[in-house]
Amino acid sequence: MKMDNACFPCLARGAYDIACLATSDRELQLKILQKVLSGLACLDPDRPPPLAAVMIRKTAGELTGVWDPYKSLKEKYNALALDLYPWLSSLKRGTEEDRFDTGVRLAIAGNIIDFGSASAVGRDKLMATITHALESRVHGSVDGFRKAVENADRILWLGDNAGEIVFDKLLLEEMDCSKITYAIRGGAIQNDATMDDAVVAGLTEVVRVIDSGAVIPGTLPEYCSKDFVAAFNRADLIISKGQGNFETLDRDSRTFFLFKAKCAVVASQAGCNLGDVVILEPGPLA
């Protein structure tokens, strides 16, 4: 996905959030913002927006020495999701199809835990998103996704954010994890999940987890490790969670995109409404 004009103020807002998390020194915050704004002016608009986050992270890290400003927020939302987990698990009832349907909806609801697209989430917003995901119409076919998962032999799941990965576990438990590899980020960027988060979430206990080798809030194979690229190329089904992965990957014959449409630009690209619970099936954009 290319940069849209509307991406620039969103990225600037994200830079301000990171500056405030990295330092309380207002003069240093201003230096970060000035350097980021200068960098945004030079960005290639034909490249996907998540690449700008790399520049923003580098700027804040070099000026403050803080390379994981979202660390405490990630810990908070991992803990919150784990606290909710027994209740969320109890919502999966009925037939295998019913349990899978609920698992999909809960996994997508967890995508609201995204500080790249929002400066605040909070427990109330998370609970409201869970209710909405369980009660609203899904933009896409849960049944089609379930059948594709059942028929696949090698699945690569591209994870997204800390906290959200606990919600993913609710769906993974309804799948044959012996044929799934779950990939997280290669390092700390925004509130995206790293291997440390996967361990805390208990994800490593239910599925094979690898990292992409890239510190990008999305998936661009040309930036990733050889091991990840090998897993990517081997997969006959790819489950792409979150907006960042949607923004960086092309639609193809293997990839299902699962996310909460939190951005008007992404919603327009996906052909859905803002706020929708989305499953995009493999195929070209309309």
Residue 120 shares a structural domain with residue 14:
no
Does any domain span residue 174? yes
Residue 39 shares a structural domain with residue 103:
no
Residue pLDDT, tens place only, 58-88? 999 999 999 999 999 999 999 999 999 999 9
Residue 59 shares a structural domain with residue 182:
no
Residue 11 shares a structural domain with residue 128:
no
Residue 273 shares a structural domain with residue 180:
yes
Residue 133 shares a structural domain with residue 83:
yes
Residue 123 shares a structural domain with residue 191:
yes
pLDDT of residue 284: 65
Which of 64, 83, 108 is where one domain is finished?
Answer: 64
What is the amino acid identity at position 204?
Answer: T
Residue 207 shares a structural domain with residue 98:
yes
Residue 42 CA to residue 1 CA, distance in Å, equals 18
Residue pLDDT, tens place only, 238-255? 999 999 999 999 999 999
pLDDT of residue 283: 80
Residue 244 CA to residue 197 CA, distance in Å, equals 18
pLDDT (mean) for 222-231: 97
Residue 244 shares a structural domain with residue 205:
yes
Residue 250 shares a structural domain with residue 118:
yes
Residue 281 CA to residue 258 CA, distance in Å, equals 9
Count Cβ atoms below 10 Å from residue 256 Cβ, excluding itself.
22
Residues in the chain: 286
Does any domain span residue 2? no
What is the amino acid identity at position 159?
Answer: G
User: Taking 60 as the threshold, does the pLDDT of residue 286 lie above it?
Assistant: no
Residue pLDDT, tens place only, 134-169? 999 999 999 999 999 999 999 999 999 999 999 999
Number of folded domains that form the chain: 2
Does any domain span residue 235? yes
User: Taking 90 as the threshold, does the pLDDT of residue 121 lie above it?
Assistant: no
CB 204 within 8 A of CB 177: no
| Structure-token pair, residue 159 | 């994870």
**Mean pLDDT across the chain, nearest whole number?**
95
Which strands, in side-by-side order, build the sheet including 155-158?
A: 138-139, 277-280, 255-260, 237-241, 155-158, 180-184, 208-211
Count Cβ atoms below 10 Å from residue 279 Cβ, excluding itself.
21
Residue 38 CA to residue 43 CA, distance in Å, equals 9
pLDDT of residue 177: 98
User: Taking 70 as the threshold, does the pLDDT of residue 279 lie above it?
Assistant: yes
Which of 27, 45, 64 is where one domain is finished?
Answer: 64
- Pairing assessment for the beta strands 237-241 and 155-158 based on DSSP bridges: parallel
Residue 185 CA to residue 216 CA, distance in Å, equals 7
Range of the domain at 58: 7-64
Name the 3-class secondary structure at 272. Answer: coil
Does any domain span residue 286? no
Does any domain span residue 47? yes
User: Left if phi > 0, otherwise alpha if psi is -120 to 50, otherwise beta: which for 140?
Assistant: left
Does any domain span residue 285? no
Residue 187 shares a structural domain with residue 59:
no
pLDDT of residue 220: 96
Instruction: Return the ∠ at Cα 30 (arms to 188 and 54), rounded to 5°.
Output: 25
Which of 18, 49, 64 is where one domain is finished?
Answer: 64
pLDDT of residue 122: 86
Residue 37 shares a structural domain with residue 120:
no
pLDDT band at 119 (very low <50, low <70, confident <90, very high): low
The CATH number of whichever domain residue 184 belongs to comes to 3.40.50.10880
* Number of alpha carbons in the 13 Å side-chain half-sphere of residue 37: 11
